[in-house]
A = this chain, B = another copy of it.
Amino acid sequence: MSDEISSEFDRDTAVRRVAPGEYAADLAKGWAFGDVLNGGYLLAVVGRALADALPHPDPFTVSAHYLAATGAGPAVVRTDVARAGFSLSTGSASLFQRDEDGTEVERIRVLATYGELDRLRDDVRTSARPPDMPPYEECVSTDENPDPSFSPELVHRLALRLDPTSVGWAVGSPSGKGEMRAWFALADGRDPDPLSLLLTVDALPPTAFDLGLKGWVPTVELTAHVRCRPAPGPLRVALTTRNMAGGYLEEDAEVWDSADRLVAQSRQLARVLE
């Protein structure tokens, strides 16, 4: 919503209020994998609309159900406030696009509760530990992918550095464990904030690759919790899948900041297409 937008993430997730609770967006093809926009990017767009529609600025918990693949181009986000409380407020949002014959189609429906991270107490009592992974310089840039045909647009928006133990899939030797760890930053150097964490939780190669699956694993639902404002600098992201069954798998993400704080947790249910 700023007049001076210097980062491509901010520019490409910008929304413009066109009516009370209604926002126009121009979804950018730079965040696509093939023709399909990344789910985390779309969540950040919807999250920005909700940050304007709700009286609190920061996403505390956001659940998105993905109804259909979303491509680049114009979109509308319609929001509905369920409750505006003192500490927390809750609302729904839906992202719509028009199909070829002009019919409006709902692509994503979201339910979210927002609050104000800077107002939280600063106590931390956690048993979670940051992922055990090599420093940034020793991880593998996705620019170094040995398969030159694998160069989705999305890769160029991100400065991802994969833990060397997480790249076996790229050379035909997945670990089979269902794990993926990486350093995450935006390629344009923009520092992380609560909104960009909504992208971060869904921006790594899927754990399905590490399980030896090669097809598309579309997200059915993703819920992200933002637990504190991230410090500047690259983030560490650890994904794990514990249960693949009946053609579905869950993928959990933990995001740690440069100050070793757990800044976001997410879980998605994804469908294994074959």
Interface residues of A (CB under 8 A from B): 60-61, 63, 65, 67-68, 82-83, 88, 90, 92, 94, 106, 109-113, 117, 120-128, 177-178, 211, 220-221, 223, 225, 227-228, 241-248, 250, 261-262, 265, 267, 269
Contacts and interface: CB of A to CB of B under 8 A. Distances in A.
Contacts of A211: 125
B225 A250 contact: yes
A94 B109 CA distance: 14
A109 B117 CA distance: 23
B106 A109 contact: no
A63 to B, nearest CB: 4
Contacts of A245: 120, 123-126, 227-228, 261-262
Given A65-B82, A82-B65, A221-B223, A243 B126 contact: yes
B120 A246 contact: yes
A109 B92 contact: yes
Label chain A's interface by main secondary structure: strand
Given A120-B247, A121-B246, A227-B243, 4 more contacts: A126-B243, A127-B177, A127-B242, A223-B267
Q: Which 8 A-B pairs have CB atoms at the shortest separation, nearest pair first?
A: A120-B246, A63-B63, A128-B242, A61-B221, A111-B111, A124-B245, A126-B243, A67-B83
B267 A267 contact: yes
Q: Determine how many copies of this chain the complex contains.
A: 2
A120 B83 contact: no
B227 A113 contact: no
Contacts of A65: 61, 63, 82, 90, 111-113
Given A121-B246, A243-B126, A262-B245, A67 B82 contact: yes
Contact of A221 (B63, B83, B124, B242): B63
A67 B92 CA distance: 13
A247 B109 contact: no
30 contacts: A65-B82, A67-B82, A68-B83, A82-B106, A88-B220, A90-B109, A92-B92, A110-B111, A111-B111, A117-B246, A120-B245, A120-B246, A121-B247, A122-B246, A123-B245, A125-B211, A126-B242, A126-B243, A126-B245, A127-B178, A127-B243, A128-B243, A223-B267, A225-B250, A225-B269, A227-B243, A227-B246, A228-B246, A242-B262, A267-B267
